[in-house]
A and B are shown apart, each in its own frame.
Chain A
């Protein structure tokens, strides 16, 4: 049997900070958030499920390129629907401002429903609403045709969707307990599903997680996709660089002072 070997080399120091983004100190901080996200996923798996049936899958995603890809997918989806366009564009910014993204999906809502006849999907006394709109043989749903013009290939078993909600709720409860910031998003969920995260699921919810001085998911300004911290910083670079250009001098010879010497400092 492999024995637990204790590492007694317990010395060191870690400088942790959130500035500048993606610097060593920021990545150290992000790693702490990753630990929190893992505990959130554990909590999601302990949530109540109808009939105690396992039906949850999770993806934990982190890294600059990975988050950028998710943000771009959300932006792509945003422009397909005027109703959610602005909100989704804002949420893409929030993804870039996140440390870790969690995807939670229900693997049964589109294929193996609860079959309890609760009627919540279509208001009928049995599961007929679900099955009538699905390709199935004696109640076994054929999901091999994955082409769909809709964002989500419904109908779904509402009891299973409820299970997904419980899972997301538990993940968020743990986030609140651990004092890390997290919120549930449809935009991130749909983008993640289209990108293949939680690929066995019929519905996916995205939960971005962050531990920063400012919660990235609240208190945004109007036109947040155009005016946000990344854009402000980039804009600062743009403006400041030009500002330097329009006032050149040889700092070795002369620096303007309020009451400084009027000469250029050169030997005469």
Chain B
């Protein structure tokens, strides 16, 4: 007998669905059969470190800002997603195929390089490409599995960055996060949480910045004007290319100061979980 009312039980059930999705991650086919893949499920207050790391990065990366604000707003509303962390060991090759895809002639040379530069990128690296394919298939199976359960979801590099920075899955050197739920339509596509957080002007300026050819006037003169205003009689605008100290300064501040600050705030607590688990 029972009578479930409201939506709370749905939110709880997303965790159960996440467990089923992790089964799909481990069941995903591999090309090499030798790629080590791990998955973890994170929810509730344990999302806070991830949100905290995404916040500063969102200041310099629009796609991270979008992911951050969506997750943060859902969290604040009591509708936080469940995040599945999917990690893999990619930066050493035990294949000895010497295929050349990584840029080295042999796996041995790649491994020597990887030993020196492991983890240097925002999302890890360097990577054996065949192992990347295995990992990507597991991530894809996670997404496909989520769709089969009809739970809104999106695989996120932004969350992957946070997982890496915070030391989640210490044995893995590449990570992505699959945000799962809350249980409704259009959380991560046509994002309702982001309504009214951008203006018409901002959208238009993005287009001018990112797709300039759409706004370029007659280029025959060599220094074309840009059609950025409705008023044709207004002074024309031109574009320039150059180093932006301002942009780079903010970027460096975020990467080397603000993100590490958040990492320091949470990393010990996360590391302890792995220590306790290994005891």
Contacts and interface: CB of A to CB of B under 8 A. Distances in A.
Contacts of B114: 123
A122 B105 CA distance: 14
B91 A123 contact: yes
B100 A153 contact: yes
A166 B125 contact: no
B214 interface: no
Interface string B134-156: 11111111011000000000010
A141 interface: no
A245 B240 CA distance: 89
Interface stretch (B6-14, B26-34, B215-223, B270-278): B26-34
Contact of A119 (B28, B122, B132, B141): B122
B121 A120 contact: yes
A180 interface: no
Contact of B103 (A81, A122, A205): A122
Interface stretch (A16-24, A95-103, A167-175): A167-175
B127 interface: yes
B132 A120 contact: yes
Contact of B126 (A81, A123, A161): A123
Most buried by A among B97, B103, B174: B103
Nearest to A167: B140
Contact of A166 (B29, B31, B121, B136): B136
Interface residues of B, number: 48
Interface string B108-127: 00000110011111111111
A42 B214 CA distance: 31
B31 A173 contact: no
B118 A123 contact: yes
B207 interface: no
Interface string B175-218: 00000000000000000000000000000000000000000000
Which of B29, B30, B119, B143 has the most A CB atoms < 10 Å from its CB?
A: B29
B188 to A, nearest CB: 11
Contacts of B122: 117-119, 125
B102 A154 contact: yes
Contacts of A150: 98-100, 105
Given A118-B121, A124-B120, A125-B120, A50 B103 contact: no
Interface in A122-174: 122-125, 129-130, 133, 148-156, 158, 161-170, 172-173
Given A84-B97, A152-B101, A164-B133, A123 B140 contact: no
Interface in A151-208: 151-156, 158, 161-170, 172-173, 183-186, 190, 203, 205
B214 to A, nearest CB: 17
B157 A118 contact: yes
A137 to B, nearest CB: 16
Given A122-B103, A122-B117, A151-B98, 10 more contacts: A118-B157, A119-B120, A150-B100, A150-B105, A152-B129, A153-B100, A154-B102, A155-B101, A166-B140, A172-B137
Interface of A: 47-48, 50, 81, 83-84, 117-125, 129-130, 133, 148-156, 158, 161-170, 172-173, 183-186, 190, 203, 205
Q: Which 7 A-B pairs have the closest CB atoms?
A: A119-B121, A165-B136, A150-B100, A169-B140, A155-B103, A123-B120, A123-B117
